A and B are shown apart, each in its own frame.
Chain A
Amino acid sequence: MGDDNGMLTFIVFFPVIGAVVLATLPREQERHAKWMALAVTGAVLGFTLAVFAMFDRGSDEAMQFTERFRWIRAEDAGFDIQYFLGVDGLGLTMVVLTGLLFVVAVLVSWNVELRAKEYFAWLLALETGVMGVFTAQDLIFFFLFWEVELIPMYLLISIWGSGRKSYSAMKFVLFTLFGSALMLVGFLVLAFSADPSTFDMVALRDSNISDALLPLPAIFVLIFAAFAIKLPIVPLHTWLPDAHTDAPTAVSVILAGVLLKMGGYGMLRLVSIMPDTAQDFAVWMASFAAGSIIYGAIVTMRQTDLKRLIAYSSVSHMGYVLLGIAALGQVGMTGAALQMFSHGLITGLLFVIVGMIYDRAHTRDIRELSGLAHVTPVIATAMLMAGLASLGLPAMSGFVAEVTVFLGAGDRFAAPTVLGVIGVLLSAGYILWTIQRTMFGPRNERWADLPDATAWWEQVPVAAMLAIILAVGIYPARLVDVIEQGILPIATRLG
Chain B
Amino acid sequence: MLQDVDRIGPELVLMVTAACIVLVDALLRPPPGSSEDEGPRAWLPVTALAGLAAAVIYAVVLIQRDREAVVFSGTYSLDVFSIFFKFVFIGVAGMVVLASVDYVRKLRYQGEFWALLLLATSGMMLLAGARDLMLIFVALELTSISQYALAALLRDDRATEAGLKYILLGAIASAVILYGMAFLFGLSGTTKLVAADGGPSIASFVAEGDPGTRAGLIAAIVLLAAGFSFKVALVPFQMWVPDVYQGAATPVGAFLSVGSKAAGFAVLLRVFYEGFGTESFVGSDWSNLFAAVAAVSMTAGNVMALLQTNIKRLLGYSSIAQAGNFAIGLAAIAASQDGVVLGASGVAFFVATYAFTNLGAFFAVIAISQRTGSDEIEDYAGMGRRAPLLAAVLSFCFVSLTGIPPTAGFIAKVYIFNAAVQSDLVWLVIVAVLNTVVSAFYYLRVVSHMYLAPAPEEGDIRPGPWLATALAVTGVGVLVVGIVPTPLIDAAQRAASVFS
What residues of chain A have their CB less than 8 Å away from a CB belonging to chain B?
71-74, 76-79, 140, 143-145, 147-148, 150-151, 154-155, 158-159, 166, 169-170, 173-174, 177-178, 181-182, 184-185, 188-189, 192, 213-214
Contacts and interface: CB of A to CB of B under 8 A. Distances in A.
Interface in B455-492: 485-486, 489-490
A78 B422 contact: yes
A25 to B, nearest CB: 13
Given A71-B486, A150-B404, 8 more contacts: A76-B337, A77-B340, A79-B489, A151-B399, A174-B441, A177-B440, A184-B417, A214-B426
A170 B415 CA distance: 27
A72 B406 CA distance: 14
B437 A185 contact: no
Nearest to B339: A76
A22 to B, nearest CB: 15
B451 interface: yes
Interface string B438-458: 001100110010011000000
Interface in B409-452: 410-411, 414-415, 417-418, 421-422, 424, 426, 429-430, 433-434, 436-437, 440-441, 444-445, 448, 451-452
Contacts of A72: 411, 485-486, 489
Interface core residue of B340, B433, B441 (most chain A CB under 10 Å): B433
Contacts of A155: 451
A73 B411 CA distance: 13
Contact of B338 (A76, A150, A154): A76
A177 to B, nearest CB: 5
A45 B73 CA distance: 68
B358 interface: no
Contacts of A213: 421, 424, 426
Given A170-B444, A177-B440, A192-B422, A185 B429 contact: yes
Contact of A181 (B336, B426, B434, B485): B434
Contact of A147 (B337, B342, B405, B493): B405
B433 A78 contact: no
A145 B490 CA distance: 24
Contact of A177 (B414, B415, B437): B437
Given A151-B404, A185-B421, A79 B410 contact: no
Nearest to A78: B336
Nearest to A181: B433
A74 B490 contact: yes
A77 B426 contact: no
Interface centre among A166, A173, A184 (most CB of B within 10 A): A184
A140 B406 CA distance: 12
Interface residues of B, number: 38
Contacts of B410: 144, 147
B77 interface: no
A78 B429 contact: no
A78 B410 CA distance: 18
26 contacts: A72-B411, A73-B486, A73-B490, A74-B490, A76-B336, A77-B338, A77-B342, A78-B342, A78-B418, A79-B342, A79-B415, A144-B405, A148-B404, A158-B452, A166-B452, A173-B440, A181-B433, A181-B434, A182-B430, A184-B414, A184-B433, A185-B417, A185-B426, A188-B417, A192-B421, A192-B422
Contacts of B429: 185, 188
Contacts of B415: 79
Given A147-B405, A151-B404, A178-B437, A158 B448 contact: yes
Contacts of B448: 154, 158, 166, 169-170
Contacts of B436: 177, 181
B335 to A, nearest CB: 10
B322 interface: no
B345 interface: yes
Contacts of B345: 77
A480 to B, nearest CB: 35
Nearest to B489: A74
Contacts of A71: 486
A76 B437 contact: no
B404 A74 contact: no
A146 B421 CA distance: 21
Contacts of A170: 441, 444-445, 448
A150 B410 CA distance: 13
A150 B403 CA distance: 12
Closest 10 CB pairs of A and B: A181-B433, A76-B338, A188-B421, A144-B405, A77-B340, A78-B336, A177-B437, A178-B437, A77-B336, A147-B404
A386 B38 CA distance: 72
A290 B395 CA distance: 42
A68 to B, nearest CB: 15
Given A177-B436, A185-B426, A185-B433, A76 B340 contact: yes
A174 to B, nearest CB: 6
Contacts of A158: 448, 451-452
